[in-house]
Amino acid sequence: MLYFLLYLFIETFVSVKIASAIGPFWTFVEIIATALYGLWILRSMHLQMMATMQMLGSGEISIEEFERMNIATFIGAILLIIPGFFTDILGILLQFGVLSNFIAKKIFKLRSQKKEDDDVIDVEIIER
């Protein structure tokens, strides 16, 4: 809940600052343009996935890089669709891979912790 409130504060602050600087018309244009760009990315994501699958198949990238590239593109596109300047900035940064390494490390860290928990087998020995 704290992170969500922090996000709302940052989103509101950044949006008000930028919108007051560029005006209501250009704010509207930016919201529509980034939403359309996000939708376009989602519609053409299958092409990127096919390209990264080919790179994965030829051994150019690892499975982690494959996942990182596609997750970053998907999350970035969703952030571009959500109205607001802060989410748009994050979405664009994810499209260019600036934040994708950070997010991928967090996701893989959570996954490895979950795998470690899954590897534990609880056994009870009953002696007669």
What does the DSSP assignment read for 46-101?
A: HHHHHHHHHHHHTTSS-HHHHHHHHHHHHHHHHHHHSSSHHHHHHHHHHHTTTTHH
pLDDT in tens, 18-44: 999 999 999 999 999 999 999 999 999
Residue 34's H or E segment, with its range, is helix 24-43
**pTM given for the model:** 0.71
Q: What is the spatial distance between Cα 20 and Cα 96, in angstroms, rounded to a whole number?
A: 27
Residue 118 pLDDT class (50, 70, 90 cuts) = low
| Residue ranges covered by each domain of the chain | 23-108
* pLDDT over 60 (residue 116): no
